[in-house]
Homo-oligomer: A and B are copies of this chain.
Amino acid sequence: MGKLSFVSDYMEGAHPEILKRLLETNMEKSAGYGFDDFSESARDKIRKACAAPDADVFFLVGGTQTNAVMIDSILRPYQGVIAATTGHISGHEAGAIEHGGHKVLEIEQHDGKIKASDIKHVIMEYFNDENHDHMVMPGMVYLSQPTEFGTLYSLNELKEISEVCRDNHVPLYLDGARLAYALACPQNDVTLKDIASLCDAFYIGGTKCGAMFGEAVVIPRHDFIPHLFTIIKQHGALLAKGRIAGIQFDTLFTDNLYDNVGKVAIEAADRIREALDKKGYKQAFDSPTNQIFIILSKKQIDDLSSDIEMGFWQNIDKEHAIMRIATSWATTKEDVDRLIELL
């Protein structure tokens, strides 16, 4: 019996339903670049799930790519994007946003989240500064749901942020790389429809939620970003065989598969969290989603590592570090049982 692995939520290939559907459709001929019927069907299902009948929907390959394309296409060259200091675009995308010419205007995070009042403050400070024509204009806001720490914005929080954004004509963009794991949380009160009504653009994550790859960009207001197709091409982000992404999202949005993908992971994570609490482990962030961040001593890490692969998150001090356990659609009951036993 091999080592248990809870390193990340993208260790397997894809949800079996997706592979099955790829096989079934494999020899059908289709148009390229997303003009195929599979992609069209997927777009329709996503529009329906978002209650956004006029939405533009595009399928891109990965998260960093999607963030770079969307931020570059929403901002004007002299604008920047407001994000948490811990936002994925702030520290873990190798400067992809700056590569596109834009500053990430980093603001303080609280459990990975940013506050409507802080966003408002940054915008007001900019416009009230006599010298603001020499500064980077806040041109959009970047959130992720769940955040880097697995935490969730409540519907109220999201509404407040959306209101600040709309009052100030600053588009709101949401990174949903792990959105399935937010939607499936009992604690979550933010639906896809809420997101579509409160954000100007967002993406529904596939790569970490059961697909081989793929992120579905949703822009609720049609043509909010003119010529996005060409911008995607220019960024090297246009799939020749767009159908491969389309089929995956069509499958994820058939028979509630995207919901189920989330549920499996959350149920596993909840069982692990309960066990951790019982055994006295301390968690670094109050994450209700599929990522669990445990504070461990170096000795505990050494002991556990002989049987369990976890993800290293960050050092706290010389004696302690935060380790991450991630569940996914592929986590089995047996692995969770064994993990709990070993803890």
At the interface, yes or no: A127 with Cβ under 8 Å from chain B?
Answer: no
Q: Are B241 and A13 in touch, CB under 8 angstroms?
A: yes
CA distance A7 to B92 in the complex (A): 41
Q: Which A residues are within 8 Å of any B CB, using their own CB?
A: 5, 7-8, 10-14, 16, 19, 22-23, 25-32, 61-69, 72-73, 76-78, 80, 91-96, 98-99, 101-104, 106, 130-131, 133-137, 207-208, 212-213, 227, 229-231, 233-241, 243-244, 312, 330
A25: chain B residues within 8 A (beta carbon): 13
Task: Report the minimal beta-carbon distance from A201 to chain B, rounded to whole angstroms.
Answer: 16
Task: Report the minimal beta-carbon distance from A26 to chain B, rounded to whole angstroms.
Answer: 4
Q: Are B96 and A230 in touch, CB under 8 angstroms?
A: no
Task: Report the minimal beta-carbon distance from A214 to chain B, rounded to whole angstroms.
Answer: 10
CA distance A128 to B73 in the complex (A): 25
CA distance A83 to B212 in the complex (A): 35
User: Which residue of chain B is the closest to A233 with respect to CB atoms?
Assistant: B94
CA distance A94 to B77 in the complex (A): 10
Q: Are B80 and A233 in touch, CB under 8 angstroms?
A: no
Query: Could you say which of B32, B103, B134, B208 contacts A92, with CB atoms under 8 Å apart?
Result: B134
Q: Are B26 and A22 in touch, CB under 8 angstroms?
A: no
A106: chain B residues within 8 A (beta carbon): 106
User: Which residue of chain B is the closest to A16 with respect to CB atoms?
Assistant: B26
A80: chain B residues within 8 A (beta carbon): 95, 98
Q: Are B10 and A32 in touch, CB under 8 angstroms?
A: yes
Q: Are A234 and B22 in touch, CB under 8 angstroms?
A: no
A136: chain B residues within 8 A (beta carbon): 91, 94-95, 98
Q: What is the oligomeric copy number?
A: 4
Q: Are A240 and B213 in touch, CB under 8 angstroms?
A: yes
9 smallest CB-CB distances across A and B, nearest first, come from A65-B236, A13-B26, A11-B29, A94-B233, A94-B234, A95-B136, A98-B103, A78-B230, A68-B236
Query: Could you say which of B27, B32, B135 contacts A94, with CB atoms under 8 Å apart?
Result: B135
Q: Are B96 and A236 in touch, CB under 8 angstroms?
A: yes
**Contact (A227, B22) CB under 8 Å given A10-B240, A30-B11, A68-B236:** no
A207: chain B residues within 8 A (beta carbon): 240-241
Q: Are A93 and B234 in touch, CB under 8 angstroms?
A: yes
A98: chain B residues within 8 A (beta carbon): 80, 98, 101-103, 136
Task: Report the minimal beta-carbon distance from A66 to chain B, rounded to whole angstroms.
Answer: 8
CA distance A243 to B8 in the complex (A): 14
A28: chain B residues within 8 A (beta carbon): 12-13
Could you list 5 A-B pairs, sorted by A, with CB under 8 Å? A11-B30, A22-B22, A94-B234, A96-B233, A137-B230
A67: chain B residues within 8 A (beta carbon): 236
**Contact (A69, B240) CB under 8 Å given A98-B136, A230-B134:** no
A137: chain B residues within 8 A (beta carbon): 227, 230
Q: Are B229 and A133 in touch, CB under 8 angstroms?
A: yes
CA distance A67 to B78 in the complex (A): 17
